[in-house]
Amino acid sequence: ERRVTVPDFAAWKQQGRKIAVITAYDYPTARLLDAAGVDCLLVGDSMGTTVQGRDTTLSVTLPQIIYHSEMVARGTKRALVVADLPFLSYHVSPRQAIRSAGRVMKGTGCQAVKLEGGRRMAATIRAVVDAEIPVMAHLGLTPQSIRRLGSYKVQREEDALREDARAVFEAGAFAVVLECIPARLAAAISSEIPIPTIGIGAGAGCDGQVLVLHDMFGLLSDGFRPRFARRYAELGEQMKQAAAEYVRDVRGGAFPTEDESFR
Ligand code: KIV
Ligand code: NA
């Protein structure tokens, strides 16, 4: 089976075939998700919270994104791999964005980058796309804006979001993530622009969906649980139980057995 390409995204929207995206941060997980048929793996700067245990995504660096993207790309045969550009790796200027995106593309084997922002990032998106690097845009609740927004909440500025969506499409983005916006607005945007919308907390009217790995598999079970983050498994609970069983076995002498030892 051949690898998913950027043009496939446009074709799938035309066909009404929904796009399934999950975040990934390492090789074994990427292999599992790829084998399961996930269309696109996003190496999200959500790694700041999911992998690094921080409160926000702001501290994630470009070398960290490159490190994780490289492992994720190596674990895939079919999925399109998209890497997030971290906070302040593209805000200074379009030139800075091209350099950052270029380091990701040359260093990792991923196929595209994602960056946050609408009209104010249009010139930057255009510059990166003109450098032959496909861009996925990201609108609505943009976590890199957390210090301005103050908290993670649903974004409801309808006219601004519609204009931003139009702007990122016109700037050349091949897809756009819509995070935490009302379902009706996301559906309207999805019908207004010809590139696929990938929703998270944006309802069923989007052209695809994305979930954060740790949310959907219950890997951070003590953490905040947004209503859109459907739990597909309780792997965190399973890992905890397995680890506790191992501890019991070691302490009680039940592990290892003779079969698990060399004679
Ligand atoms: O960093 C991330 O995981 C993301 C998705 C939630 C879209 O940007
Ligand atoms: Na992100």
Alpha carbon nearest to ligand 1 atom 8, residue? 44
Q: Which domain holds residue 143?
A: 6-232
Q: Is 46 a known ligand-binding residue?
A: yes
Q: Which ligand is nearest to the CA of 44?
A: 1
- The pTM of the full predicted model, rounded to 2 decimals, is 0.97
130 in a structural domain: yes
Strand partners, 177: 138, 198
Q: What is the CATH number of the domain that holds 15?
A: 3.20.20.60
45 marked as binding residue: yes
The Å distance, Cα 260 to ligand 1 centre, comes to 42
Asked if the structure places residue 1 within a domain, the reply is: no
Instruction: Tell me which residue of 199, 170, 212 sits closest to 45, measured CA to CA.
Output: 212
pLDDT (tens, 9 = 90+) of the chain, 263 residues, equals 899 999 999 999 999 999 999 999 999 999 999 999 999 999 999 999 999 999 999 999 999 999 999 999 999 999 999 999 999 999 999 999 999 999 999 989 999 999 999 999 999 999 999 999 999 999 999 999 999 999 999 999 999 999 999 999 999 999 999 999 999 999 999 999 999 999 999 999 999 999 999 999 999 977 668 899 999 999 999 999 999 999 999 999 999 999 999 99
Which ligand 1 atom is at minimum distance from the Cα of 177? 7
Q: Are residues 211 and 249 in the same domain?
A: no
Query: Ligand 1 centre from 246 Cα, in Å?
Result: 34
> Could you give the ipTM of this predicted complex?
0.99
Q: How far is CA 185 from the centre of its chain?
A: 21
Residues 132 and 27 in one domain: yes
Judge whether 120 lies within some domain. yes
Domain tally, the chain = 2
**DSSP 8-state symbol, 217:** T
Known catalytic residues?
179
